Amino acid sequence: MVLPPFCRYVPWPDIGLSDNIMIDGSAKDYTVLTLSHWPKSGTPHDLKADSSAEIVFNYIEQPGLHENVTVVTGDHFDEDACLGIFAMLEPEFALEHKHLICDAAIAGDFTKGNNQQANRIAFTIGAFCNPVFSPLDKAIFKEPYDAMCGMLFKEILPRVRPIIEHTHAFEELWKGEDDFLNRTEQALSNGAIIIEEHPGISFAVVTSKLDLRNKDDLARGHDKPWHPIAIHNRTRCDRILSISDSGIIFAYRYESWVQYITLPPPPRIDLHPLAETLTDLESGDTVWKSDSVENIFPRMVTLDNQPSSLHIDKIIAHFMEALATGKPAWDPFDKQILLG
């Protein structure tokens, strides 16, 4: 196979006038090619895939589309971006581990997947970029965002190959997340967590009798009482209502923000009118708040986690009606121009 030209990573603010390939982000000045599932990314149609890492592999494997560009960059740090850039830097090694790398990118971005090693690779990369758990110099996390991202890429990209080859050696970084996932799996098996699906509107209600998080899980940013990989592995529904003693949280999954190719979820619905309706129905001072559909992970919750006076069945019924009748409010896909 003819591989792309040898590439090097450069933080995007440092690119200057250099032609570049943007991975898992939006095109910048002098971006020649974007390899990204992000909204309106302009990624060539023949390369599109669910994750940006898989898009990169599609590019590597199609020599006819290779650009004579040696600078790759990214405008944010996450698992998918890191693995996609790594594949461009070490394409031969990456191709040997393609499925593992793609599974790890899916685990990181879409929080789903049954490949244990891939999950642990994603957990490890996630721990490296978490200021609470990262073994890196804590000063990195005090930098402005763009500078921090550049430092994280420079620190973590050389570690990706060892993480893939010797995942077990990084147990200290992946074990906490792994344990939370296992606790959630057990709770699903014994009925402590119940998933009720309404596939016609891609809506799932997840009721948890337990809050399975510990302080470390909270520090990792988990806002629901269960691990999302365990839930997302069991339902394709893209709209999730979580019900537990720790609160009621509605969230759209990430799949509906990006250009998800395999099985595109239904478009996001603006839930601000529903938030107003539920607020008006409350007998007390509880206020419902909805994020914009443009947010990467939009949620709808009660303000300050106030308890609702409404019966949960009534809340569910209102969500179902809004999701079934609301007009699409978000379209991440590139428009295809048809000629002739």
Q: What is the mean pLDDT of residues 180-191?
A: 98
Please tell me the predicted confidence (pLDDT) of residue 63. Answer: 96
Whether the CB-CB separation of 278 and 67 falls below 8 Å is answered with no
What lies within 8 Å, CB to CB, of 214 at 6+ separation is 180
In sequence order, the 6+-apart residues with CB closer than 8 A to the CB of 335 are: none
User: Within the chain, what is the greatest distance between any pair of CA atoms?
Assistant: 67
Is residue 288 a contact partner of residue 279, using CB atoms and an 8 Å limit?
A: yes
Residue 229 pLDDT > 90, yes or no?
A: yes
Q: What is the pLDDT of residue 335?
A: 78
Is residue 262 predicted with pLDDT exceeding 80? yes
pLDDT of residue 336: 57
With 0-12 / 13-18 / 19 or more C-beta atoms within 10 angstroms meaning exposed / middle / buried, residue 198 is middle
Residue that wins the pLDDT comparison between 267 and 246:
267
Angle at 36 between CA 177 and CA 57, to 5 degrees: 80
pLDDT given at position 337: 40
Planar angle of CA 42, 47, 49, nearest 5 degrees: 95
Cβ–Cβ under 8 Å, residues 288 and 278: yes
Look up the pTM and report it. 0.96
- The string of pLDDT tens digits covering residues 200-220 is 999 999 999 999 999 999 999
Burial class (CB in 10 A: 0-12, 13-18, 19+), 237: buried
Domains of the chain: 8-165 (no CATH), 191-325 (3.10.310)
| pLDDT for 264 beyond 50 | yes
Q: Is 146 left (phi over 0), alpha (psi -120 to 50) or beta?
A: alpha
Is pLDDT at 340 greater than 90 in this prediction?
no
Q: Looking at residue 138, what is its pLDDT?
A: 97
154 pLDDT higher than 60 = yes
Confidence of residue 338 (pLDDT cuts 50, 70, 90): very low
